[in-house]
Amino acid sequence: QSALTQPASVSGSPGQSITISCTGTSSDVGGYKYVSWYQQHPGKAPKLIIYEVSNRPSGVPDRFSGSKSGNTASLTISGLQGEDEADYYCSSYTSGSTVFGGGTKLTVL
Partner 1 sequence: QVQLVQSGSELKKPGASVKVSCKASGYTFPNYALNWVRQAPGQGLEWMGWIDANTGKPTYAQGFTGRFVFSLDTSVSTAYLQISSLKAEDTAVYYCARDIVVATFDSWGQGTLVTVSS
Q: If binding means CB under 8 A, how many residues of this protein chain bind partner 1?
A: 26
| 41 contacts partner 1 (rule: CB under 8 A) | no
Segment (H or E) for 18: strand 18-23
Cα 45 off chain centre by: 15
| 59 contacts partner 1 (rule: CB under 8 A) | no
Taking residue 93's Cβ as centre, other Cβ atoms within 10 Å add up to 16
Segment (H or E) for 12: strand 9-12
| Among residues 18, 77, 89, 106, the one that binds partner 1 under rule CB under 8 A | 89
| Among residues 14, 57, 70, 79, the one that binds partner 1 under rule CB under 8 A | 57
Residue 81 backbone class (left: φ over 0; alpha: ψ -120 to 50; beta: rest): beta
| 91 contacts partner 1 (rule: CB under 8 A) | yes
Residues that bind partner 1 (CB under 8 A): 1, 3, 32, 34, 36, 38, 40, 45-48, 51-52, 57, 89, 91-93, 96-103
